């Protein structure tokens, strides 16, 4: 029988047997949110697919992906599901503790929605303080360094990337091309907030400085495209992005497996 790498596919007898190896467990988190008019909302599908690829290549075990995350700024768009901050933090802690209580101390958060990270950080810091366990977090899209972005997008990296555009728009074309509706793309102008240009959903820009203001995505563009240009996305770009993120994550998981995750509590 082939070796299983997805927790959902295992019986509890099979998982109990694998526990003796103290495997790396990937705790995958995504989001159900708008990605512009052309891409499907379930970007947790990308997280799930990448986590499966990483688990297979790194001989880890991927827990089922949580499809919902913290995405309050997308609330104006129908179809999204937004968890409250306290719900998200408690969810991450509860999932991790479920594994820690059985002596599994090599957990890695595999986070496919950047907005989840501040709350992930709260949860894993609480776990460190109470249990003395370090839980790293791999933020998928943050792995794309300036050097890698230049390699993939060249001199148009700045204009190509952003919410509603790349990298997610291209990764969808690579992994789930049948779900993409490029015919629905509309190029709408950006709005202003407080008479100033928005800085994504984090605030506004004043004299080249970002000033935090709690704005929502529809206050930037009515289409949900915050920045970037999905009309220039491609399956080939998506392939390069996917392979880079998976390769990086596999290398980290293999490195982490050989390290102790235990520190003094507090």
> Which pLDDT does position 222 carry in this prediction?
93
> Which pLDDT does position 227 carry in this prediction?
86
Tell me: the pLDDT tens digits for 95-125?
A: 999 999 999 999 999 999 999 999 999 999 9
- Average pLDDT score over residue span 156-177: 93
Give this prediction's pTM: 0.95
> Which pLDDT does position 160 carry in this prediction?
84
Domains of the chain (ranges, CATH numbers): 7-143+242-257 (3.40.50.10310)
> Which pLDDT does position 199 carry in this prediction?
85
Indicate the pLDDT class of residue 266, thresholds 50, 70 and 90: confident
Tell me: the pLDDT tens digits for 205-257?
A: 999 999 999 999 999 999 999 888 999 999 999 999 999 999 999 999 999 99
**Looking at the predicted structure, is the pLDDT value of residue 200 above 80?**
no
DSSP codes joined into one string, 165-227 = SBTHHHHHHHH-GGG--GGG---PPP--BTTB-EETTTEEEETTEEEE----GGGT-TTS--S
Q: Helix, strand, or coil here: 12?
A: helix
> Which pLDDT does position 146 carry in this prediction?
93
Q: What percent of the chain has pLDDT over 90?
A: 90
**Looking at the predicted structure, is the pLDDT value of residue 201 above 80?**
no
> Which pLDDT does position 202 carry in this prediction?
82
Please state, as a whole number, how many other Cβ atoms lie within 10 Å of the Cβ of residue 55. 26
> Which pLDDT does position 215 carry in this prediction?
93
Indicate the pLDDT class of residue 261, thresholds 50, 70 and 90: very high
- Average pLDDT score over residue span 76-80: 96
> Which pLDDT does position 265 carry in this prediction?
87
Q: Is the peptide bond before 167 cis (omega within 30 degrees of 0)?
A: yes
The CA–CA distances, whole Å, from 72 to 35, 42, 201, 215, 218 equal 14, 16, 10, 10, 12
Tell me: the pLDDT tens digits for 29-62?
A: 999 999 999 999 999 999 999 999 999 999 999 9
**Looking at the predicted structure, is the pLDDT value of residue 82 above 90?**
yes
């Amino acid at each position: 029988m082939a070796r299983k790498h997805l927790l959902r596919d295992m019986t509890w007898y099979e998982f109990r047997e694998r526990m003796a190896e103290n495997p790396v467990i990937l705790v995958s988190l995504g989001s159900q949110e708008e990605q512009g008019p052309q891409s499907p909302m379930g970007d947790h599908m990308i997280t799930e697919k990448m986590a499966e690829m990483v688990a297979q290549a790194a001989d880890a075990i991927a827990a089922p992906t949580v499809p919902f995350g913290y995405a309050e700024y997308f609330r104006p768009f129908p179809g999204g599901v937004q968890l409250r901050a306290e719900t998200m933090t408690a969810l991450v802690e509860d999932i991790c503790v479920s594994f820690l209580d059985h002596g599994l101390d090599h957990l890695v958060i595999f986070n496919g929605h950047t907005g989840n990270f501040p709350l992930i950080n709260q949860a894993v810091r609480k776990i460190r303080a109470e249990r003395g366990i370090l839980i790293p977090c791999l933020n998928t899209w943050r792995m794309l360094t300036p050097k890698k972005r230049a390699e993939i997008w060249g001199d148009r990296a700045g204009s190509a990337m952003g919410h509603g555009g790349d990298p997610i728009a291209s990764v969808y074309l690579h992994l789930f091309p049948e779900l993409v509706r490029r015919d629905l793309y509309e190029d709408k102008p950006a709005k202003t907030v407080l008479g100033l240009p928005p800085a994504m959903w984090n605030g506004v820009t004043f004299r080249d400085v970002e000033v935090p203001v709690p704005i929502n995505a529809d206050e930037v563009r009515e289409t949900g495209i915050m920045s970037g240009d999905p009309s220039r996305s491609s399956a080939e770009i998506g392939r390069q992005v996917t392979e880079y993120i998976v390769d990086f994550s596999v290398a980290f998981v293999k490195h982490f497996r050989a390290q102790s995750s235990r520190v003094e509590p507090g």
